[in-house]
Amino acid sequence: MENLEQIRDRLLARFPGAEVTLINNPGPSAQHSLLLGLAQAREIALFLRDDPALRLDYCSNATGIDWPAKEFTDVVRTPVKDAAGATLRILEEKTKRVTPGFLEVVYHLYSMEKKHGPVVIRLRTGNRTDQVTVPSLTPVWRSCDFQEREIFDLYGVNFEGHHDLRRILMWDGFKDHPMRKDYVAPDDYEWEPTPHGAVLEKAKAHYPAPPPATVP
């Protein structure tokens, strides 16, 4: 199989104006991936499936990843000098920089016909709140059907063009997306006769403190 750079170059030649970026994997597995722009993702996926040299007819795994917003602190150190040139003190200037969070969908593609793979493709949403729509690849590979429903359920990625986008693992009335990093489990307290540790703290929040007379 041709390597990922060749595939990217072929895609860029075939789809002028498409966004295809190579994402490097620094780990020892060296499974690099292609980040596709949302506008032409489905056409590119169809090309990957039907291209006679690639024939990636089997989408093995589709999954979501949550990348919350990350905060970095940049420190710029400028020495303050006197007239003679000796350093008096070092002025530290700290600036905070926030990279916005996003949700990502990853597909692992193999070829059953040519017996090669994997080719990893990724789609990214604009943010984690209102721009969470990506094109569904279920029309291209039906194996994404349940897996995209699972991503919709657990991550809240909206797949446009999916024929049956409903919750699959959580129940229908459920509101949140439990696989997100900032998900807080509901405070479902159950009474225990001898609470201790974290359960005791929870128990205190659920019951009023005992009257002072009963405390020895």
Per CB under 8 A, the list member of 7, 147, 152, 156 interacting with another protein is 147
Cβ atoms 7, 34 nearer than 8 A: yes
Binding segment (CB under 8 A) for another protein, from list 2-10, 86-94, 136-144, 198-206: 136-144
What sign results for the dihedral spanned by CA atoms 105, 165, 44, 142? positive
Residue type, 186: P
Per CB under 8 A, the list member of 125, 135, 152, 157 interacting with another protein is 135
**The token pair that represents 169 in the structure block:** 């693992």
CB of 211 to another protein, least distance (A): 39
**The token pair that represents 126 in the structure block:** 């604009």
Between β-strands 20-23 and 158-160, what pairing exists: parallel, antiparallel or unpaired? unpaired
Binding-site size for another protein (CB under 8 A) equals 52
Q: What is the CA radius of gyration of the chain?
A: 26
Per CB under 8 A, the list member of 106, 158, 195, 203 interacting with another protein is 106
A 10 A CB-CB count for 76 gives: 9
Q: Which 2-61 positions form the footprint of another protein (CB under 8 A)? A: 25-29, 31, 38-43, 46, 50, 57-61
Residue 188 sits at φ, ψ, to 5 deg, of -95, 95
**Residue 115 touches another protein, criterion: CB under 8 A:** yes
Residues in the site for another protein, rule: CB under 8 A? Answer: 25-29, 31, 38-43, 46, 50, 57-61, 63, 65, 106, 108, 110, 112, 115, 118, 120, 133, 135, 138-147, 154, 160-161, 163-164, 167-171, 178-179
